[in-house]
């Protein structure tokens, strides 16, 4: 079941977290951007065309916010939600087969 949410940071930027089905697994994607629309545009530009954020049911945790803020690209993913011991991967490491 896809889900997601966002957190507004004190500087006005946002961190968007989405849980999506990809290649028969679920992944958690984190995006840091100036606003929610820009975060979703960053994902759409990478080929994830049908990405929408409806509501705030699964906002990013403080650990997820810290992870994405410390990454130079501000765009991370990992298998969700069971693999909490798995490290975060840069988005370019995500291989999506059509």
Kindly report, residue by residue over 26-70, the tens digit of the pLDDT. 889 999 999 999 999 998 888 877 788 888 889 999 999 999 999
Domains: count for the chain: 1
Q: Is residue 33 part of a domain?
A: yes
| Sheet of strand 14-22, all strands in order from the earlier edge strand to the far edge | 3-8, 14-22, 25-33, 75-79, 89-90
Q: Is residue 25 part of a domain?
A: yes
Handedness of CA 16, 69, 35, 37 (dihedral sign): negative
Residue 89 pLDDT: 85
Domain that holds residue 14: 3-93
Q: Which of 2-6, 42-46, 80-84 has the lowest mean pLDDT?
A: 80-84
């Amino acid at each position: 079941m896809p889900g997601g949410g966002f957190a507004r940071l004190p500087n006005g930027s946002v961190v968007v977290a989405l849980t999506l089905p990809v290649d028969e697994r679920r992944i958690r994607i984190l995006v840091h951007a100036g606003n929610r629309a820009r975060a979703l545009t960053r994902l759409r530009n990478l080929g994830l065309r049908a990405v929408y954020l409806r509501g705030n049911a699964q906002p990013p945790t403080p650990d997820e916010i810290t992870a994405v803020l410390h990454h130079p690209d501000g765009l991370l993913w990992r298998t969700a939600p069971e693999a909490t011991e798995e490290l975060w991967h840069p988005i370019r490491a995500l291989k999506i087969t059509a």
